[in-house]
Chain A
Amino acid sequence: MILFRRYLIYLLAVILIAVGFTYISAKLYEEFAFIKNDNWQILPSPGDQDRDIYTRASVAMSGTFALAKPEAAYFHAFYDIEDEELSGNCSYQISGSDIESRWWSITVYNEDGFLVKNDEKIYSLNSETVDFNLEGGFNIYLTGDNNFISKNSGENWLRTPIDNSFSVALRIYLPGEEYFSKLKRVDLPIIEKLECRDE
């Protein structure tokens, strides 16, 4: 009985240590694995066969069946340009210029990583559906505020979840192979906070 208890304690200790290493590695991975470019972050090789085991596990959990480069670049934003978490209480503006590629799109996800429920059934804007301004750039409003939407109904906008945090994905398909060697420096849209309902 004493021997059994001792081995049970060893087993629990091993599991605790494994969970501890996994937790720490997940935290360190979030901090160091991504290339950061203003408010965006990207894994340089999300679907590649030669990716490390941590990238493979992370992508399987958060973006299963991601394509290898150079097919697509997947940028994600969880924070605005002031490094504040994207919140459903606030309205934001994404401003940028056209991105050289086969096509690109901007999609809003709720905090579980799924598309945001909305009556309009508009979940994303892409290089064919976004309205460009005369200078060739674009502005997209992100908001869950109906008043804000009715004031800006003629503009590009995407609905965000009310109250909860959310994230934005920028997908760029076939941007060219050399694009992946300068992920830190490429020009990307900026996400700025405009107003918040509880401020």
Chain B
Amino acid sequence: MSSLFKKIIILVLVGFSLHLAIIYFTPNLVFKYISKNWVEENMFNNSFARNLPTSDFTEVIRPSADLLYGGCGYDVTYFPLVIETEVPETYWSISFFSENTDNFSTINENSHNFGKLRIYLFGPESKPTKINDGFVVVSPTDKGLVLMRQFAGNRSNLDELYEVQNNLNCKLADF
């Protein structure tokens, strides 16, 4: 095999590896880009709320105009996160996304359909303690996003949904 041919093969292999790395890390980079202001905006381990998306909303591509979004960014490196909310009388879900944007868990009306809801979100290195008063979710990464979706339907119950959204509470556990 000539030395030029060997060089070409090596360049192609290295180029292909770089391509795989670009593809592999793209979701993490997108997450970093979206969360770049979360520390300043106090969105880590704190709840945030968004109005119904309009044409001015450019935070996330292809937002649903029928969903009221709320949630919290999380960092459960040292302590688990406790999420508390009321369940509305419409479609709702609380979904969990890891740093590579995987939706690793979703709790919705099929799991819990009335009253208050408490969820304990543990980090990958933690050992979940026995929990009797809520759901337990274990994140595969220390950081990520909790996203609550509420269906606004014909907008007749929008005030109630905004109230649920405003009462969403995310805080680090003290155990």
Chain A neighbourhood of B151, CB < 8 A: 102-103, 126, 173
Interface string of B1-41 (1 = CB under 8 A from A): 00000000001101110111011101100110010000000
In the bound complex, do residue A49 and residue B104 qualify as a contact, i.e. CB atoms below 8 Å apart? yes
Chain A neighbourhood of B58, CB < 8 A: 114
**For the complex, is B106 an interface residue (Cβ under 8 Å from A)?**
yes
**For the complex, is A152 an interface residue (Cβ under 8 Å from B)?**
no
Q: What are 17 residue pairs bridging A and B, where the CB atoms are less than 8 Å apart in the complex? A: A14-B14, A17-B18, A18-B18, A21-B16, A49-B140, A53-B23, A61-B30, A65-B103, A107-B62, A112-B61, A113-B62, A115-B63, A116-B55, A126-B66, A173-B151, A174-B91, A174-B110
In the bound complex, do residue A67 and residue B64 qualify as a contact, i.e. CB atoms below 8 Å apart? no
In the bound complex, do residue A118 and residue B60 qualify as a contact, i.e. CB atoms below 8 Å apart? no
B: which residues have CB within 8 A of A?
Answer: 11-12, 14-16, 18-20, 22-24, 26-27, 30-31, 34, 53-55, 57-58, 60-66, 91, 93, 95, 97, 100-104, 106, 108, 110, 140, 145, 147, 151, 153-154
Chain A neighbourhood of B31, CB < 8 A: 60
**Nearest B residue to A22, CB-CB:** B19
Q: A60-B30, A116-B55 are in contact. Are A53 and B20 (CB under 8 A)?
A: yes
Chain A to chain B: the 5 pairs with minimum beta-carbon distance, closest first: A17-B15, A47-B103, A123-B65, A21-B19, A18-B18
A: which residues have CB within 8 A of B?
Answer: 10, 13-22, 25, 47-49, 51, 53-54, 56-57, 59-68, 71, 102-103, 105, 107, 109, 112-118, 121, 123-124, 126, 128-129, 169, 171, 173-174
**Nearest B residue to A113, CB-CB:** B61
Residue from B64, B97, B106, B140 having most chain A Cβ neighbours under 10 A: B64
In the bound complex, do residue A67 and residue B106 qualify as a contact, i.e. CB atoms below 8 Å apart? yes
With beta carbons under 8 angstroms apart, the residue of B62, B106, B145 that contacts A62 is: B62
| Chain A binding surface, main DSSP class | mixed
Closest chain B CB from A152 CB (angstroms): 21
Closest chain B CB from A195 CB (angstroms): 25
